């Protein structure tokens, strides 16, 4: 059962999608490959409606970026941005920094260091309780 608010959010998203499609079609000089409308209500809580570029123009567009780790040129697609900001609730000023491969490596690295850290804590805890 969907709440009225969820339904309203969906309706707004549908309307925005139509508007963007129309705008892109009309503007034949547009270099937009793909644009996804911003659903402001789904964004992470913030105090600004003009904070970042996508918020000012009302839709996400494909953004080229260079991976900070391996230097590969990548595209952060409009679709990925919509997911990141509206589903994952990413910070509105956050941006893509790593390619898919490096993101995976970075995740494995931080999982590993968390595991090592937790094991260290556990060992210390056991030592403390033995000493008592
Ligand atoms: Zn990379």
Q: What is the pLDDT along the chain (132 residues), one digit of tens a residue?
A: 567 777 887 887 787 777 766 665 555 444 555 788 999 889 988 776 567 889 888 999 999 999 999 999 999 999 999 999 999 999 998 999 999 999 999 999 999 999 999 999 999 998 887 766
CA of 97 to the centre of ligand 1 (A): 8
Q: Clarify whether residues 21 and 84 are in a common domain.
A: yes
One domain for residues 125 and 84: no
Instruction: Select from 9, 91, 98 the least CA-distant residue to 52.
Output: 91
Cα 82 to Cα 27, 59, 87, distances in angstroms: 22, 9, 7
Q: What does the pLDDT read at residue 97?
A: 94
d(CA 127, CA 111): 24
Residue 51 is classified by DSSP as S
Q: How far is CA 110 from CA 38, 103, 124, in A?
A: 31, 11, 21
Same domain, 74 and 130: no
pLDDT for the residue numbered 131: 66
Protein residues within 5 Å, CB atom, of ion ligand 1: 67, 69-70, 72, 99, 102
pLDDT at 29: 46
Question: Residue 74: which domain range?
Answer: 4-97
Phi, psi of 114 (to 5 degrees): -65, -40
Same domain, 80 and 116: no
Please give the distance, rounded to the nearest whole angstrom, from the Cα atom of residue 70 to the centre of ligand 1.
4
Are 45 and 26 in a shared domain?
yes
pTM: 0.59
CA–centroid distance, 45 to ligand 1, in Å, is 30
27 plus 60 within the same structural domain:
yes
Please give the tally of structural domains in the chain: 2
Q: Is 103 exposed, middle or buried (0-12, 13-18, 19+ CB in 10 A)?
A: middle
**How far, in whole angstroms, is CA 87 from its chain's centroid?**
8
Whole-number Å distance, alpha carbon 83 to ligand 1 midpoint, is: 20
**Phi, psi angle pair for 125, to nearest 5°:** -65, -45
Residues 92 and 107 in one domain: no
92 Cα: distance to centroid of ligand 1 (angstroms): 22
| Ligand 1 center–CA 102 separation, angstroms | 4
């Amino acid at each position: 059962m969907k709440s009225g608010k969820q339904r309203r959010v969906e309706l707004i998203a549908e309307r925005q999608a139509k508007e963007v499609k129309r705008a892109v079609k009309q503007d034949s000089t547009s270099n937009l490959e793909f644009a996804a409308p911003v659903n402001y209500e789904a964004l992470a809580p913030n105090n600004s409606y003009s904070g970042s570029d996508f918020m000012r123009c009302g839709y996400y567009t494909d953004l080229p970026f260079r991976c900070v780790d391996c230097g590969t040129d990548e595209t952060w697609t409009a679709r990925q941005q919509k997911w990141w900001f509206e589903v994952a609730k990413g910070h509105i000023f956050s941006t893509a920094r790593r390619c898919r491969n490096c993101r995976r490596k970075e995740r494995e690295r931080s999982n590993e260091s968390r595991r090592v850290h937790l094991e260290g804590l556990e060992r210390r805890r056991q030592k403390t309780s033995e000493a008592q």
